[in-house]
Amino acid sequence: MSIWSRITQALASLAAGEGLAAVFEKLRTPPERTVGFTIAVIALSAKMAKADGLVTRDEVSAFREVFAIAPEDEAGAARVFNLARQDVAGFEEYARRIARLFGDGSAALYDLMEGLFHIAMADGSYHPKEDDFLRRVAEIFGLKVAQFEDMRARFVPEARCSPYRVLGVTPETPLDEIRTAYRRLVRDSHPDIMIARGVPEEAVKLSQKRLAEINRAWEEISARETA
């Protein structure tokens, strides 16, 4: 059964009048946390689209920046998006429920924020209202300001940061400690580790950009240090 079929099942309670946000309360344990993760990304993306007023003609195409969606599952993905867009609950309430689902400040919430950045940048621009939206979501998720700024710098070209910041070190950090930080980040960004945190297999693209930036930063730093 595809994750979109499982999502459809998870949303069946909507027919009984439950709000979409309430669905998250039922998705606390594996493997359904992957369903919760996917609904969270799509639901908050729908709220973000309303925040900046720039809804694309085909919203599902933006999800392909994060998720692998088979043609037969596109209708299910679109249904989740439309339900979230129509739900009267505000994005802050969504974010709070999602934070409770995964635990404030958890690595899964960091992964989820990356998914939102992927989608925010899918059209090649970063709207100020998207920035306001994502900052508030990150705050509700319990992420540190530095974590948000580092993530923003990886996704938004004009905010690009130094390779040292990507690895969470400084130019004064010894090279062996930088190497250790680099290896830890690579390990934590491995698709298998992310799946264990609740990221669905369909969202493996989430790790690709992060790993590319981590590897780029290490290569740049190691070239400087050994020159």
What are residue 111's phi and psi, to 5 degrees?
A: -60, -40
Nearest by Cα to 213 from 193, 181, 186, 188: 186
Q: Which residues contact 100 (CB under 8 A, 6 or more apart)?
A: 24, 25
pTM: 0.76
Angle 100-102-107 (CA atoms, 0-180°, nearest 5)? 135
The CATH code belonging to domain 3-160 is 1.10.3680
Nearest by Cα to 225 from 147, 186, 154, 169: 169
- The pLDDT profile of the chain, 227 residues, written as one tens digit per residue, is 567 677 767 666 554 556 666 666 666 656 667 777 887 887 888 788 776 665 555 555 666 667 777 777 777 777 777 777 776 567 888 888 888 888 766 888 988 898 888 888 877 788 888 899 999 999 999 999 888 988 888 888 877 778 888 888 889 999 999 999 999 999 988 888 887 877 777 676 777 778 888 999 999 998 887 76
State how far the Cα of 141 lies from the Cα of 102, in Å rounded to an integer.
9
